[in-house]
Amino acid sequence: MRTVTGREKVSEMCADLLQDESNLSGAWCEAAAWPQNTDEAREYITECAKTGMQLTVSGGLTGIAGGALPQGGSVISASALKDIRLLKNGNITAGAGVTIEELNSFVSVNTDGLFYPPDPTEDTASVGGTIATDASGADSYLYGATRKWVEGLEIVLPGGRLLSIKRGQHTFENRTCTHPVLGTLHLPPLRREQPSKNAAGYYLREGMDLIDLFIGSEGKLGFITEAELKLASEPMYVIDLAVFPENAGSFWELYGAMLHADRPLRIRALEMMDDMCMDFLRSHPGELPLPPVNAVFCLILRAEADSDEHLEETLETLDEMLVTYDSNPETAWGGFEPSERKKIKDFRHALPEAVNHCISESRMKYPSIHKYGSDGAVEPSRLKEYYTRTRCILQESGLPFLIFGHAGDGHIHANAIPEDPQQMHNADRAMREIAAAAVAMGGTVSAEHGLGKMKLDYLELMYSEDEIRGMEAIRRVIDPTHLMGPGLTSKHFDCLFKYFDC
């Protein structure tokens, strides 16, 4: 097992551990370790527990909320946990350090027509990281987030105990679950049920499976070393389309029709970009074709067909819908060839990449600059209302901004692009106001990226003090010395780990 000790040596030899896609600065740690198997992870975590060294869990470092960036203590990285194999039951076992790209490649080569449905956008994200944040992406409209595809986990708990759990073995009955390794856990009652797409706080449902408590826990309850994952059968055809309505009214009408579409349409993804996104792409041209001249919005959809007949019916239905809702089929991009699918995927990804480029340019002048992005979601029926409110907040802030995201899930990303330190303060206030707006509409402050360190205080927008105390009580049972996830506990409740009845 590779280890590095000493703050200066970590900075010199493995500075990559101190940076992720959040662009937050100031991360540091006193040591780092890269276990290659579960036994080595147990050995290191046990030693840290003996010395009181706090641990930050690190994966592919693709997170944008700063959860993997240490604030002292030690970092334990999953990047060397690369074992991957097929199981007799048709599932796959992958080490926590296996990237989504490596997983997809292995499945493609070693199975006949199977695939791993979660699509967290970033191929270099790790299996462990996507489980820790319950990551999702465009295809979650049909296939759901990572949680749905996790069948088993191997976890090293704080202190070095090993927990191997399978879905279906242990559940919470009457909000209580007793486990031979964990002891007795109690779910706190909530004022309202958590949204269906939610990555804020622990997953809490009456009758839930114990494994779901660890999925989305952001490295606060243990170090995932391995996961058993389900696979799905590839459809015969996948059709990708980028549709460019020439006015906002047509976009929202088409979007509503897509939400309520029945067979023959089997919609896998439903994404949106607005007029400001179209203008931004035109003003930041790259190698990709520019949007049509009159395009005001863009609706990106992916659909599946399971036969030649189904494909024909799907294409006919889509053509009729575009004509009905004043979206010219002649200006649409797409098809079912891999080259067409790649073109649309690259077009969608070009937007956040251009935003990151702008942030990088600002950082050259002001090193503390970083992007601010919202991650809220509401019921899809309220997306137009949420989008309108989000846009109004950002316009009033005076910030450069863009809004795009997973429309099918009622989930949009508002990216504020600060250009100087004063705008950083404005962006911070705007993001918090946008998060509060999502909660007021029955939604979540984080739908797929987790809270990390950047948005931890948003928890109080969504949950009461008693509800947060209940979540921290669960953590205290599993990690009584607060060993894991330093900086990932709400500042208002840090005292729980010194005086539980504070």
Return the closest-CA partner of residue 138 out of 449, 415, 405.
Answer: 405
Q: CA-to-CA distance for 346 and 121, rounded, in angstroms?
A: 11
Output the six-digit token pair for 278: 């179209």
Helix (H, G, I), strand (E, B) or coil at 493: helix
Query: pTM of this prediction?
Result: 0.91
Low-confidence ranges of the chain (pLDDT < 70): 23, 64, 487-502
Write the DSSP string, 32-93. EEE-SSHHHHHHHHHHHHHHT--EEEESSS--SS-TT--BSSEEEE-TT---EEE-TTS-EE
- The DSSP secondary-structure symbol of 299 reads E
**What pLDDT does residue 496 have?**
37
21 by Cβ neighbours in 10 Å (0-12 / 13-18 / 19+) ranks as buried
Q: How far apart are CA 64 and CA 129, in angstroms?
A: 12
In angstroms and rounded to an integer, the radius of gyration of the C-alpha atoms of the chain is: 23
Phi, psi of 417 (to 5 degrees): -120, 75
CATH 3.30.465.10 occupies which residues in the chain? 84-233
Q: Domain 84-233: which CATH class?
A: alpha beta
Taking Cα atoms as reference points, which of 20, 217, 245, 200 lies closest to residue 125?
A: 20
The amino acid at residue 78 is A
Domain span(s) for CATH 3.30.70.2190 in the chain: 237-356
CA distance 287 to 254: 29
Question: pLDDT at position 330, please?
Answer: 87
- Interior CA angle at 255 toward 253 and 257, to 5°? 70
Which tokens go with 173?
Answer: 């009955």
Per-residue confidence (pLDDT) for residue 11, from 0 to 100: 87
pLDDT at 137: 83
Average confidence score pLDDT of the chain: 90
Q: What is the pLDDT of residues 356-413, one digit of tens each?
A: 888 888 888 888 888 889 999 999 999 999 999 999 999 999 999 999 999 999 999 9
**pLDDT by residue (tens digit) across 36-80?**
999 999 999 999 999 999 999 998 877 767 778 888 899 999 999
pLDDT at 23: 67
Residue 497 pLDDT: 35
Q: pLDDT at position 488, please?
A: 55
Pick the CATH number of 237-356 from 3.30.1600.10, 3.40.50.970, 3.30.43.10, 3.30.70.2190: 3.30.70.2190
Residue 149 near residue 117 (C-beta atoms within 8 A): yes
Contact 223, 41 (CB under 8 A): yes
